[in-house]
Structure 1
């Protein structure tokens, strides 16, 4: 570790007063390189111990190698304790499970015969600086990479133990000795949920009735101790109920449900009465996602807030709770200090057609993300589409900048992002996230990229893009539209279900209609539009080459798959796979590869266990047979998700896509 990096860690907290000063005029800023955008952040995973005495973060000096760093909050001017990953592994996460114990998660490539994937290992360690070599305890209880283990609960009221799942069975694990005691035997038929006290409270199963898949949630009767059925819903109805929290009363749980409405809300549920009681939290225009409960002894399990998905994931602090009111007050104060702003935008609900002006982030938002039990130490993060995360420390009522994730990026070089809506050809309102180039590129029209998300049961948020895809191209003069096409989750049931079996059809129309809207708005140059997507977005890019719309000059498909394979392998999670399977249908682009009308660049990782690399190769074979132009890149050791991608892999994607746009998309480049 270099002396400069030690200084960086020592200077983790600086006064907010130092951030103020005269505004500087900027000329056209130089766009960030692919390497700068995709390297590992200088600071990430920042959190505080329950007793407030320590802060943990993952830090990186060179953007490639990462370390776990632990600071003493009573001596922030002292060198933090530093710990590295095991050889061949990458640090993925670090968090406190007890005041003096940290869970460190690492990942590395793993090959078993011809099967190539990535595995994660979780270790528990102390951070005592005088001990020298740390004693690492494996969560699985043994050093065997094939054994799956995960934390079920950190058991906040238990000073020694946590609850872990090892190969489907549940164990109480002593975090000081590593000793494990089985407390519950798992089952192939059921999935179980435990509360934060380590008590099993729920079991879930999947079955079929008259050929229709259904999901059954059973809750434990607090009087008899027996599981009883409470929620049974069929996949075709697309009206799931989820338990999102447990109260101090064993008869009361908190659920998310739609209750016949388009948007999910949070409700109280009475187990004895088998009755949904009053709504706890609802948003008229957006989906509620969960409850935030205190884990501190003094107000254990009290609800302090709720989360909901709008343009981003938002928190609403429950001001009727003492801790919630304190969090709300702190959040407002730190937003003021960091210059976070909101703005009002007109919004039309896709389901009801109701109109309202909704509050959304203007540039970046600052949010409380971690706090000590006594609220004397709080961590906040400022982040947005053109704002790499910055972390702030609030200690004893005083605020300071803890660290910046990507201090070398000049945000003046980045594009501006806003929440938009447009009408699909059948009138359905489609949300979108639009990023336009910096002002130095003029007012447009711009070369444009239509960037559909993966899933497709997923959605985009107005947040910092860890892939670098959006801002890399916006900073170089491209407009980027992320259409929230029908089939996207998180915007309400109507938009979600409208995509059923419409792959490559109405789902694709929504993307094309977004491109047409940008042309009408004089944002997109009609002769310079491409589609680029990854996973399901990669499939959409394949479909774009085949459909006879003439909108796109070229397409880029990352890990795009066939309809048949996606129908049987839509996710590694059996629950999601079975839930989504009946609604996958439409155009199988791979079968029609020979009909491609525009150049395409395909890339895929050879360790992808979600979408087989053979799908991309099959599309290429169809292109070859028809004499159609293409570019191909196989990325060694890359899996499917971002977590399996090294900075070099992510940098390669950006550089190679840009080369394709400039040199092979069409004569003269995109």
Structure 2
């Protein structure tokens, strides 16, 4: 959305922008059948974002964000009042996992990369901190530590220290360490305890809860304050519903046994309840939704009251329990009708906020909002090179899988084409668990629709936020029922007459790349071709690689999700082991610095294809991680996809 640079009041926003919004264009009587848009060059879809994932500092003076310069993502800190910027480059071959403020003068960030462990590849995460004033970066790692080095359980509001749940060595259970952010001075504050893998601190940084496992039971250790020792208050069997309560998001309030918890125990949907940690008793409901899971919540640091809860229906949303913030949200939505508005980050005193404004076919804009001054200044957009008027609108749909389960999905049809007999691209998301697609702008989807394809994004069983029953339907269904959900979406669109069932290809990244490869191997009668970016090809090896495998609790939980409780043999649904069945064209791409799905997954598939005499189009991108951050590589990937699809599933 190309709105002007600075607006001095919300009233002015209403006066000057409504005519530019997609909603307004529709309201003025746009043509029922719009003209076919021009071909948008791949470089515009792959143009580097100079501003993404912004986070404002607690004192409201700085914004941290990701910018792509010279083909690489970098962390940037911008000083709001002066415009000064500090740019920080992290190591090549590493993937940025997350970043967050520690006070207003330091920025924590986590990187992941590939290491060798017991003769196998494994993923290792490392925590680092930036001192914004001195521009120095300090790595908060110990060479002997376990594979997960970024499990922060508390951040000091002043930014002096963090509490880190970390193994001293790979052979130990994790302890909790206080890490001083100025010099990496490390003090053990809670020692390791047999079978305990997770520790929880209250909102003042006192470690109060430990959760572990022994055999088939979950063990719960608790203490009311820092002066007392931990006592086991529960031994919960795997089939006990109380175990799943403790798998939720936990928050303990200082000076009491009370707090909050997300659990689906009462309704099958994750909702926010009060919770007593000493008795493990669920209290009154704070906020819930009858259809979707509550995924997170925020507390007031001073009072401990819940200020907001978050869920995703078709889009990510905040449910404000704070009346003041609820009023600000309503004010912004009134000023920008027809647009989706998110308050994505706030200073501690709410004097400054970052607001994101978008619509299904609008990449959006970030604004700096100052409520008292009634100012909303545009900062940047994640994809300013694209014109929303030329982009397709994504709509939510639902269809019935073969076993009767209703599958939510998103359908995007190409602009300027009759919605019948269209060529289709099925685009499954990554994960597969804990992830889902939404109606937010997606460059891949818009690229494909601009080339004339309909795009279906199924939120197959196991996708997040749809409740416990939908999640459980996905357990043990990788390569089986999850794959059926994709196929059934094709059948539904064909029965509706929207697509031509003989003109279907499947494309995805990460787990979606796996699903694409497995789709053409398992069901060549359905798919004419497949495109896989950073895809998993050998599920067993990927399980061993994933760092979850190297904690006993994580190994058990992750394996049960992927394999199912009966320990299904994953070789039966791994593309690399069934290469002899491949009869359809495949394009496979990967980054040689991918720390999430290692290059060996790509190499094994290519090697197996050569041995079996199966021609495969392949491209390995140097220096790229889990995805393509260099815009030149991204454009090259789009061009390869376009040529590949034009050859094997032409849109015209």
Same topology, TM > 0.5: yes
| 1: CA distance, partners of 2:163 / 2:643 | 49
Q: Bigger CA drift: 218-227 or 412-421?
A: 218-227
Correspondent of 1:46 among 43, 47, 54:
54
- Alignment of 1:20 with 2:17, yes or no, is yes
Q: What pairs with 1:556-575 in structure 2 (closer than 5 Å)?
A: 556-558=531-533, 559-566=535-542, 568-569=544-545, 572=548, 574=551, 575=553
Aligned residue in 2 for 1:321: none
Aligned to 1:134: 135
Q: Per the alignment, in what secondary structure is the counterpart of residue 78 of structure 2?
A: strand
Q: Which residue of 1 aligns with 2:616?
A: 630
Contact 1:417–1:462 (8 Å) recurs in 2: no
| Equivalent position SS for 2:645 | helix
Work out the CA distance in 1 between the residues paired with 2:51 and 2:397. Answer: 31
Residue 434 of structure 1: which of 411, 422, 425 is its match?
A: 411
* 1: CA distance, partners of 2:137 / 2:608: 51
Match of 1:276 in 2: 282
Superposition deviation, residue 421 in structure 1:
0.6
CA distances 1:204-258 after superposition (whole Å, capped 9, x unpaired): 223323xxxx443433344954233347352898945324322245211211222
Question: Shift of the alpha carbon at 1:152?
Answer: 3.4
The answer as to whether partners of 1:432 and 1:482 remain within 8 angstroms in 2 is yes
Q: What corresponds to 1:246 in structure 2? A: 252
Which residue number in structure 2 is paired with residue 80 of structure 1?
84
SS of 1:441's equivalent in the other structure is coil
Aligned counterpart, 1:155? 156
Deviation at 1:569, TM superposition (A): 4.9
2:582 aligned with 1:578: no
How far apart, CA to CA, are the structure 1 residues paired with 2:357 and 2:367? 8
1:377, CA displacement in angstroms? Answer: 1.6
Aligned positions of 1:154-553 closer than 5 A: 154-156=155-157, 158=158, 160-164=160-164, 168=168, 169-176=175-182, 179-186=185-192, 189-190=195-196, 191-209=198-216, 214-222=217-225, 224-230=228-234, 232=236, 234=238, 239=244, 241=246, 242-259=248-265, 261-295=267-301, 299-318=302-321, 324-339=322-337, 341=338, 364-395=339-370, 396-400=372-376, 401-438=378-415, 440-464=416-440, 468-548=443-523, 550-553=525-528
Scaled by the length of structure 1, the TM-score of the pair is 0.80
Report which stretch shifted further, 654-663 or 25-34: 25-34
1:433 aligned counterpart, secondary structure: strand
- Post-superposition shift, 1:634? 2.6
**Distance (whole Å) between structure 2 residues aligned to residue 662 and residue 491 of structure 1:** 36
Check the 8 A contact 1:601/1:631 in 2, yes or no: yes
- Structure 2: give runs of 5+ residues left out of the alignment: 169-174
CA distance in 1, matches of 2:235, 2:264: 13
The aligned length equals 608
Distance 1:90-1:464 versus aligned 2 partners, 3 A rule? farther
Of the three residues 642, 645, 648, the one matched with 1:661 is 645
Distance change (3 Å), C-alpha of 1:458 and 1:95:
closer
Cross-structure match for 2:43: 35
Alpha-carbon distance in structure 1 between the residues aligned to 2:137 and 2:523: 58
Contact 2:271 2:285 in 1 (8 A): yes
What is aligned with 1:97?
102
- How far off is 1:661 after superposition? 1.0
CA–CA separation in structure 1 for the residues paired with 2:332 and 2:65: 20
1:446-487 per-position Cα deviation (integer Å, ceiling 9, x unaligned): 221111122221332325456x32222122221111112223
Change (3 A) 1:246 1:474: farther
d(CA) in 1 for partners of 2:510, 2:436: 14
What residue is the counterpart of 2:172 in the other structure? none
Partner of 2:79: 71
**2: CA distance, partners of 1:208 / 1:114:** 26
CA gap of 1:420–1:216, structure 2 versus 1, over 3 A, is: farther
CA distance in 1, matches of 2:102, 2:408: 39
Q: Is the 8 A contact 1:290 1:307 kept in 2?
A: yes
Deviation digits for residues 78-118 of structure 1, max 9, x if unmatched? 3324333267588946643223x131537597777996978
Give the Å deviation of 1:389: 3.9
Q: Which residue of 2 aligns with 1:7?
A: none
Question: Aligned partners of 1:628 and 1:152: how far apart in 2?
Answer: 49
- CA distance in 1 between counterparts of 2:91 and 2:515 reads 38
C-alpha displacement at 1:529, in angstroms? 0.7
Q: 1:470 to 1:572 in 2, by over 3 A?
A: farther
Alpha-carbon contact 1:384-1:464 (below 8 Å) kept? yes
The answer (yes or no) to whether the contact 2:273–2:283 under 8 Å persists in 1 is: yes
How far has the Cα of 1:288 moved from its partner? 1.7
1:587 alignment counterpart: 573
Check the 8 A contact 1:116/1:607 in 2, yes or no. no
Q: Relative contact order, CA 8 A, sep 6+: which one is greater?
A: 2
* Structure 1 residue 13: Cα displacement: 4.9
In structure 1, C-alpha distance between the alignment counterparts of 2:350 and 2:127, rounded to whole Å: 32
Residues 56 and 552 of structure 1: is their aligned pair in 2 closer, same or farther, counting only changes over 3 Å?
Answer: closer
Q: Go from structure 1 to structure 2 and tell me whether the alpha carbon gap of 1:404 and 1:533 turns closer, same or farther (over 3 Å shift).
A: closer
Q: Please name the residue that 1:360 is paired with.
A: none
Give the 3-state SS of the residue equivalent to 1:20 in structure 2.
helix
TM-score w.r.t. structure 2 length? 0.82
Give, in whole Å, the separation in 2 of the partners of 1:504 and 1:91. 27
Structure 1 residue 512 displacement after superposition: 0.7
Secondary structure of the corresponding residue to residue 501 of structure 1: coil
- Contact 1:71–1:79 at 8 Å: present in 2 too? yes
